[in-house]
Amino acid sequence: MSTHSSRVVFVTGAGRGIGRAMADAHADAGAAVAYLDHDAALAEEAAAAATARGVKAVGLSADVSDYAAVEAAARAAEAALGPVQVLVNNAGISPKSGQDGRRAEAWEMDPAEWRRVIEVNLTGAFNCVRALSPGMKALGEGRIINIASVAGRTYCDIVGVHYAASKGALIGFTKHLAGELGPYGITVNAIAPGRIDTPMMRGTASGANEAVRLATPLRRLGRPEEVADTCLFLSSPASAFVTGQVIDVAGGWLLT
């Protein structure tokens, strides 16, 4: 595999938060980057900032749960930047529609909210793999990095059951695809972040983040750039023989 400077990287949910940090880290390492977000203004702004730093970048607007839109975005990224070697499935939602910014519990959850979380967090990742893995197979190389969560592996009282289920499924998705795509030179790994300081996290009930901080062995929340560092490792030659793995970036929170 070549170094980051000759890579084309496609990051979903790249308009802000962890996705933006991962996309920027690759851009700053010399990769050409497709910034995809369903918020078109965020995607454009992020790509324009990278372009202003002298990086080849494109902003793409699509809802990852819509296969036709993802397919069109994938082809647009290839037309603008060339064949995509690295896909980062990051776009995700974690609705907190219960009282006072808390999660709705299963017994009160709107079934439409359940479906939406699965469609975005899980089907969105499938849609991107479906649209981009044939190109990686043709190249004979590729990296797929799925952003799961420690909440996909064990009980976490902040998130809803839809979120936990979608992230747990992403871990199974990662391991299965590592088996299917390994023979084509494509690695598939997941990152399980703990509590990372982003706009999504700030939407939770007051007091929740302080409780997580105290329960985290490193006694702090994480930064998006710290997730980006692990993502850079997983897209680099240093991880060439690593596949089917889940790497926690969580300060030791919710260790299992």
Ligand X SMILES: NC(=O)c1ccc[n+]([C@@H]2O[C@H](COP(=O)([O-])OP(=O)(O)OC[C@H]3O[C@@H](n4cnc5c(N)ncnc54)[C@H](O)[C@@H]3O)[C@@H](O)[C@H]2O)c1
Do residues 18 and 90 make contact, with C-beta atoms less than 8 angstroms apart?
A: yes
Per CB under 6 A, the list member of 1, 13, 29, 114 interacting with ligand X is: 13
Amino acid at residue number 8: V
Q: How many CB atoms lie within 10 A of CB 238?
A: 11
* Distance of closest approach, residue 2 Cβ to ligand X, in angstroms: 27
Using the contact rule CB under 6 A, the part of the chain among 90-98, 101-109, 172-180, 229-237 near ligand X is 90-98
Give the residue among 147, 250, 152, 225 at the shortest CA–CA distance from 189: 147
* Distance of closest approach, residue 186 Cβ to ligand X, in angstroms: 21
Per CB under 6 A, the list member of 26, 29, 94, 126 interacting with ligand X is: 94
Q: 142 in helix, strand or coil?
A: strand
Do residues 58 and 49 make contact, with C-beta atoms less than 8 angstroms apart?
A: no
Closer to ligand X by Cβ: residue 149 or 187: 149
Angle between the N-to-C axes of helices 161-181 and 111-118, in degrees from 0 to 180, rounded to the nearest 10: 30
For residue 24, state whether it binds ligand X (rule: CB under 6 A).
no
CA dihedral sign, ordered 176, 182, 184, 187: positive
Q: Calculate the dihedral angle through the C-alpha atoms of 108, 110, 115, 117, rounding to the nearest 10 degrees.
A: -70
Task: Clarify whether 163 is annotated catalytic.
Answer: yes
Each residue 150-189 as x (binds ligand X by CB under 6 A) or -, in order, gives ----------------------------------------
Per CB under 6 A, the list member of 8, 9, 10, 17 interacting with ligand X is: 17
For residue 77, state whether it binds ligand X (rule: CB under 6 A).
no
Backbone angles phi, psi at 10, to 5 degrees: -120, 115
- Helices H, strands E: what count in the chain? 9, 7
Using the contact rule CB under 6 A, the part of the chain among 23-31, 52-60, 198-206, 232-240 near ligand X is 198-206
Interface residues toward ligand X, by CB under 6 A:
12-13, 15-19, 37-39, 42, 63-65, 90-94, 120, 124, 147, 149, 193, 195-196, 198-201
Q: Which residues are catalytic?
A: 163
